[in-house]
Amino acid sequence: MRTLVALLVLALATPALADDAGTYDVTYEDAGTTCTDKPVTLTKGKLTIAIKKGALNVSFDPAYALVGTPSKDGSINAKTAKLIGTSVGGLSARYSVVGRVDKGVLQLALTAMYVRQDTNQPYCAQTWNVTGTRK
């Protein structure tokens, strides 16, 4: 009985975002940085939103998949589970996105928090506004 109730709650809690799952053509606009030299430059790419086994998965090129909890209002809040190595020597990053998707239009803020690998201390952060439409 509990399993049935849990499945029903999950089914009712995710329809808005489930309708907007899919692949989006996106553009990245620099929104700010605390880094003296930008570790990463993003311009255009593809972003995929999927809901699998009750988890929200957001993946984009060239970074890794971010995981969150699906919401019923179309809002997105997801992050990487652990630090990810970067192409910049000596730095790892933790990525997160917040925003929303509504009727095939995506608006997110993507943040990369860079951490020095030698000291495991925060180094700097970079943020992009991500906008796009579903393919």
Distances, alpha carbon 34 to alpha carbons 18, 91, 115, 122, 126, in Å: 35, 14, 13, 11, 7
Identify the residue with better confidence: 58 or 41. Answer: 58
Task: Give per-residue pLDDT as tens, 111-124.
Answer: 999 999 999 999 99
Any residues with CB less than 8 A from the CB of 28 and at least 6 apart, and which? 42, 43, 44, 45, 110, 128, 129, 130
What structural domains does the chain harbor? 2-134 (2.40.128)
Query: H or E stretch including 128?
Result: strand 122-134
CA 49 to chain centre: 9
With 90 as the cut, is the pLDDT of residue 50 above it?
Answer: yes
**Each residue's pLDDT tens digit, 73-103:** 889 999 998 998 887 888 999 999 999 998 8
Residue 129 has pLDDT above 60, yes or no: yes
